[in-house]
Structure 1
């Protein structure tokens, strides 16, 4: 949640049997239930507000808890003394407004991703590597690109081994995968048995490691060498965009892909046998997209009720027509010294086929959990706002 720059004051409060009504100087009214207010007391007895640690247990008070008294200090602080133990809770006005759960305020706090198609090529979310390394504002801009677009390109990255790991680890620990912490993506017939990334074939856009319970979060590709021709170009598709297109064009097909699970599997030699099933689209309680999981590279047989098989295939075909449609695909031939980062839970990626006579392409791959990026974005946003 972005820190609000506005400073709000409480103009008055009113009470009924179950909740408190807070009126603000801008005309807005918040409703706070007593049980919610008591649950969110972070005094020294109930918890530690510095770390979000809670000691209070909701079962320690009745559901119909009521205040003995309510007072407001100059519109900046709300103080409540509770029945029956006279426990005192103090709430900062700005904190209350930031956590107001009225429909309008919850809508205001909802982040809206910027959806894109192939036209993004004319205005790529990109930034200079040295700027990110040297300035917090540029680093925050990078994180906001990832939040808004799900992808960001970095230019002028030294095309040498070690640079990728050093940069990625500045955000969080590298994930250990089936291929190690860093994976060399080159054409290699033997290694292609372990990973299609090392093959020459065309790879349609997909979610990496969809067969895992928790696929990689933010993926990094760093280019060290590129082909002399246009083969082996990286491709990217905004999974949120195609989901919304499908929702508008065929709501029933969209609902089927939210409801039923697709199965994925990865089997290699007696060393790996991974399987997972998940809906293609995962939504939050408000119907907003949270995750897209698509991979035609590692499918397992559908395991659905028999009456759902044919309708599901109709929906799934429509989806594939969208994510393989050039109108929605960003095609970029990464060059030495370029690095791309993207949210694997939103952006699908692939690659055009690599010509048999041209196999110079060398990318290095690693990934970091999304949690660390969200944490860094909040911290930088807060710190830079305080400095201003």
Structure 2
């Protein structure tokens, strides 16, 4: 986290924040909205009991009284006066919102950093460690998971709430001729994002190996954050287009026809890149002039090459009793082809949303600090 300090200036009636050595004056309106007394903020929920949208824009600080290094009484031109704990502002400057910083990785990473034990997830300490690994690398491999369908849902609910889709609350992945999705065939699947045609896309996917008698059908994972760093160096203009020009994704079957338009490179509200929406089986080139279309296509083509390059893509055999859980838009997954006649390859999957593990991580950290 960045360096953060506060300064209370009684003489000029100011409160200042120093962020990585750069000092700024906190605006009166910004401070007034963040009043902390129980008459204006519910003690339990921390919800406001007033409407800050109706505050006057010409608010000013009329008096600042320092109580301690981190506490001050602030008086405003609208007549409000209240005591403030300046440490309550820390969260406003934490753009990771209490989560560990993502750490991009390539295929040569020590894979032991991904592994967690199923039994450890049933303790607060073990769950914090598991979520921290997941938020850092975008993937974990859970070992020693009971080989039944119920265990998949159990692990999903340790981290969050199961997201039901048209595929059901969960789904079983094994070879089915004439199925409505190629995931249920034995053909190879390149690195891809699941459900880019859905709004919102599932944030997290879990795939639990129940059987793998075929000895084939290797799982593949690749961190798009590392790939995007390279793509931006090689093709900055194309990278920009993939970040700004939406494409159309579609899935249909006998029960539903889903269409969504979104950019291939995904960013959060702060502009930080979070991953990609990528599925060559489901997208369509946008209609652009010839020059822009070539730029866009070349960037998309190079993105696909990098996602499958040995430097970035990790291939491994997911063993029975192992469950891979990955951030759907950050860590893309795939599979090599296999011969279903050699034996059953049976995975059980589910989706959860990305916000739940982040929220549980913060709450558990607070709980541990309190203890």
TM-score (norm 1): 0.87
> Superposition pairs for residues 108-127 of structure 1, below 5 Å?
112-120=101-109, 122-127=111-116
Measure the CA separation in 2 of the matches of 1:196 and 1:43: 57
> Superposition pairs for residues 203-214 of structure 1, below 5 Å?
203-214=189-200
Q: Is this contact kept in 2: 1:79–1:88, CA < 8 A?
A: yes
2:51 aligned with 1:57, yes or no? yes
Q: Deviations over 1:2-33 (max 9, x none)?
A: 8x9x9x9866425658x533579x98855311
Segments of 5+ residues of structure 1 without an aligned counterpart are none
> Which of 114, 120, 124 does residue 131 from structure 1 map onto?
120
Q: Is this contact kept in 1: 2:10–2:63, CA < 8 A?
A: no
What residue is the counterpart of 2:158 in the other structure? 170
> Superposition pairs for residues 89-168 of structure 1, below 5 Å?
89-96=82-89, 98-99=90-91, 101=93, 112-120=101-109, 122-133=111-122, 135-168=123-156
Measure the CA separation in 2 of the matches of 1:198 and 1:336: 18
> Superposition pairs for residues 1-388 of structure 1, below 5 Å?
12-14=8-10, 20-21=15-16, 29=23, 31-48=25-42, 50-84=44-78, 86-96=79-89, 98-99=90-91, 101=93, 112-120=101-109, 122-133=111-122, 135-190=123-178, 193-229=179-215, 231-269=216-254, 271-284=255-268, 287-305=271-289, 307-387=291-371
What is the CA distance between 1:109 and its match in structure 2?
A: 7.6
CA spacing shift, 1:117–1:199, aligned 2, 3 Å: same
Q: CA RMSD in A?
A: 2.8
What is the CA distance between 1:110 and its match in structure 2?
A: 8.8
Q: Is this contact kept in 1: 2:245–2:286, CA < 8 A?
A: no
Measure the CA separation in 1 of the matches of 2:339 and 2:116: 31
Q: How many residues align?
A: 371
Q: Deviations over 1:339-382 (max 9, x none)?
A: 11111021100100011422411100001111111110111111
Measure the CA separation in 2 of the matches of 1:293 and 1:142: 25
TM-score (norm 2): 0.91
Measure the CA separation in 2 of the matches of 1:27 and 1:149: 30
CA spacing shift, 1:221–1:37, aligned 2, 3 Å: same
Segments of 5+ residues of structure 2 without an aligned counterpart are none
Residue 47 of structure 1 aligns to a residue in which SS? coil
